[in-house]
Structure 1
Amino acid sequence: MDTIKAMRAFVGVVDTGGFTKAAELLGTPKATLSASVSELEAHLKVRLLHRTTRRVSVTADGAAYYERCVRILEDIRDAEESFSSRQANPRGRLRVDVATAVASRLLIPSLHTFFERYPDIQLELGCSDGPLNLLSDGVDCALRGGEIEDQSMIARRVGTMHVVTCATTAYLAKHGRPQHPQDLRDHVCLNYFGQRSGHLFDWDFSRDGQRVTLPVSSPLTLNDTNAYVDACLAGLGVGRLPTHVFNQYLECGALEIVLGEWMSDPIPFHVVYPSNRHLSPKVRVFVEWVAEIFEHHAGMQLCTRLNPNQCDWIRHDNAEGAVTA
């Protein structure tokens, strides 16, 4: 049995919903296609498809096997394209995972430029703030902020996030405006915890060589960026938001900068992918596109000191090349 050929036949039937359309797509006689899938089922000793005179549907085992087949066939295609002239025109399925706020505020508004350059790539964009296993979840690459501690990952730094302390006008009118980070001890502060570790994050501030690290005890702690933004906008307390999220609320007056002269540590932003996976042409062009988008986005560059009315930006040079996390 030609296993790869049988896998392609099976995936084609699942993708198109039937043997007739799959045969047309693959340029193979319907009878040959059906025989390949039957031979595959016999080899695996598992029924992959439910067949009736009217429709074909995938079994539970078939659905699990389909996901594996898709990954295997993509890896084969990637390997072939890496050594062919088609490398200049990457194609195929690309699955990327990214934090929800980064997807909605940075990537999606610019995605049309990616598809204009690479019309043969089918992008699957997973949006989450939670933990992720790239290998078991079938993800080609992910965008993550912070230091990458997983030694099985390769990380390419593509940007720098900076966070600002902020609150609504109504909150500040009621509770007053802090003048020093230590004043936050008398305020309601909204904190964020990591989904993987449950770790609560301290708030760090620096100004003219002086550094303050403040453990935050909060009546409300969240682990989702969108929910955290909503809590800030609802005036529930003082929050800290990445500049690419905060900017739009500064412009419309929904949030004000607090402690503008006190800066927090810049947060590196990376594209990560498994160290044991070949960097395919489609992943490579996506990484380069993300780096380009972030390079020209003010919210992913280093922020100077802030005042309550404006945010002045200077360019921050991102590290080039892939480094082992």
Structure 2
Amino acid sequence: MDQIQAMRAFTRVVETGNFTKAADSLSLPKASITKQVQALESRLQVRLLNRTTRRVTVTADGAAYYERASRLLSDLDDIEASMTNAQATPRGRLRVDIGSSVARLIIIPALREFQDRYPDIQLDLGVGDRAVDLIGENVDCVIRGGELTEQFLVARRIGSISFINVASPDYLRRHGVPQHPSELEGEQHRVIHYLMNRTGRPFPMDFVNGDERVELTMRYQLAVNEANAHESAVLAGLGMSQMATFAAAPHLACGDLVQVLPDWTTAPFPFHVVYPPNRHLSAKVRAFVDWAAEVFSRSPALQGR
């Protein structure tokens, strides 16, 4: 038994939740992954995984072994990386997933710089607001907004954004200009909500003014789960909403949108580059992470200011 390969197989099963996804991500037959994990359990004389016809769960012994094995594998990758010159010449295929507004307004406009700096990296850029499964879908890294829930992933915070309250001039002519967030709960106003992809529930709307804070989860006529669609709905006058400052800025400048409730702000919304622990030393991943952090650092609007 190749113990290192067996450890890689086991950690990937834990991270993906099943043998099929683990095999796909390692480009190995499912039968090979199964045999490697079984051989590892035999060697250790403990059960690492509980298997049923529908799912695989990690045992208490397996969880303890996973923590130490994943650290060891990371150290081995570190040793290999330090013995090569790959850090100086990142190359190969890189799979990145980014939210639609971040891709359209931040990453793609700056992408020529990345291509010029790293001509040997072939970038597959997935764009959308769906929360991808990094391990199961074999994605190298993602840029995500909000608090992180997957504790086993590695994350680097690259910035934070603020939101402002906006509406179209046409909407304000028809419905009036609110003076306090509580007015949005009445029949006079319409609010467009953004749906959380993981739960399907709308994000609560937070309003902060000094020591006063208001959180609203009012009834709505429209909610969307994609940033560009959300932006289009606000521009069409279907309701008022909260929009990221960087996305709203060009529309405010040309008068297509108007800021409302300007004294009421929201808490900063963090942004991270997130990647699986087994890939954190890849030269191409590190190149993209460092470059994305550099792009975000250039704009005060992407640093919560």
TM range (shorter): 0.7 to 0.9
User: Shift of the alpha carbon at 1:278?
Assistant: 4.0
Deviation per residue, 1:193-233 (Å, 9 max, x gap): 11221122111111121111111211001111111111101
8 Å Cα contact 1:162-1:266 kept in structure 2: yes
User: Shift of the alpha carbon at 1:116?
Assistant: 1.4
8 Å Cα contact 1:244-1:298 kept in structure 2: no
CA separation in 1, counterparts of 2:137 and 2:304?
Answer: 33
2:245: which partner in 1?
243
Q: What is the 5 A alignment of 1:199-238?
A: 199-238=201-240
Against the structure 1 CA distance between its residues 80 and 93, is the aligned structure 2 distance closer, same or farther, given a 3 Å change threshold?
farther
Deviation per residue, 1:272-301 (Å, 9 max, x gap): 111243421111111111111111123312
1:311: which partner in 2?
none
CA separation in 1, counterparts of 2:297 and 2:142?
Answer: 18
Letter of the structure 1 residue corresponding to residue 274 of structure 2:
V
CA separation in 2, counterparts of 1:85 and 1:276?
Answer: 19
State the secondary structure of the residue aligned to 1:102: helix
1:255: which partner in 2?
257
Letter of the structure 1 residue corresponding to residue 296 of structure 2:
F
User: Shift of the alpha carbon at 1:80?
Assistant: 5.4
CA separation in 2, counterparts of 1:207 and 1:122?
Answer: 46
State the secondary structure of the residue aligned to 1:194: coil
8 Å Cα contact 1:163-1:264 kept in structure 2: yes
Letter of the structure 1 residue corresponding to residue 200 of structure 2:
G
Against the structure 1 CA distance between its residues 136 and 220, is the aligned structure 2 distance closer, same or farther, given a 3 Å change threshold?
same
User: Shift of the alpha carbon at 1:85?
Assistant: 2.0
Deviation per residue, 1:68-114 (Å, 9 max, x gap): 37xxxxxxx99855531231111111110010110011000001111
User: Shift of the alpha carbon at 1:65?
Assistant: 7.2
Q: Give the TM-score normalised by the residue count of structure 1.
A: 0.68
CA separation in 1, counterparts of 2:108 and 2:224?
Answer: 24
2:192: which partner in 1?
190
2:272: which partner in 1?
270
CA separation in 2, counterparts of 1:196 and 1:175?
Answer: 32
Against the structure 1 CA distance between its residues 81 and 260, is the aligned structure 2 distance closer, same or farther, given a 3 Å change threshold?
same
Letter of the structure 2 residue corresponding to residue 168 of structure 1:
S
CA separation in 2, counterparts of 1:299 and 1:258?
Answer: 18
1:87: which partner in 2?
87
CA separation in 1, counterparts of 2:205 and 2:25?
Answer: 46
Against the structure 1 CA distance between its residues 66 and 137, is the aligned structure 2 distance closer, same or farther, given a 3 Å change threshold?
closer
Against the structure 1 CA distance between its residues 283 and 132, is the aligned structure 2 distance closer, same or farther, given a 3 Å change threshold?
same
Against the structure 1 CA distance between its residues 132 and 120, is the aligned structure 2 distance closer, same or farther, given a 3 Å change threshold?
same
1:68: which partner in 2?
27
State the secondary structure of the residue aligned to 1:123: strand
List gaps (5 residues or longer) in structure 2: 1-22, 29-76
Identical aligned pairs, as a percentage?
45
CA separation in 2, counterparts of 1:167 and 1:219?
Answer: 15
User: Shift of the alpha carbon at 1:238?
Assistant: 0.5
1:107: which partner in 2?
107
- Asked if 1:157 is matched to 2:157, the reply is yes
CA separation in 2, counterparts of 1:99 and 1:239?
Answer: 19
Give the aligned CA root-mean-square deviation in angstroms.
Answer: 2.3
Runs of 4+ in 1 over 3 A off after TM superposition: 64-67, 77-82
8 Å Cα contact 2:279-2:285 kept in structure 1: no
CA separation in 1, counterparts of 2:169 and 2:107?
Answer: 30
CA separation in 2, counterparts of 1:279 and 1:147?
Answer: 23
Q: How many residues align?
A: 235
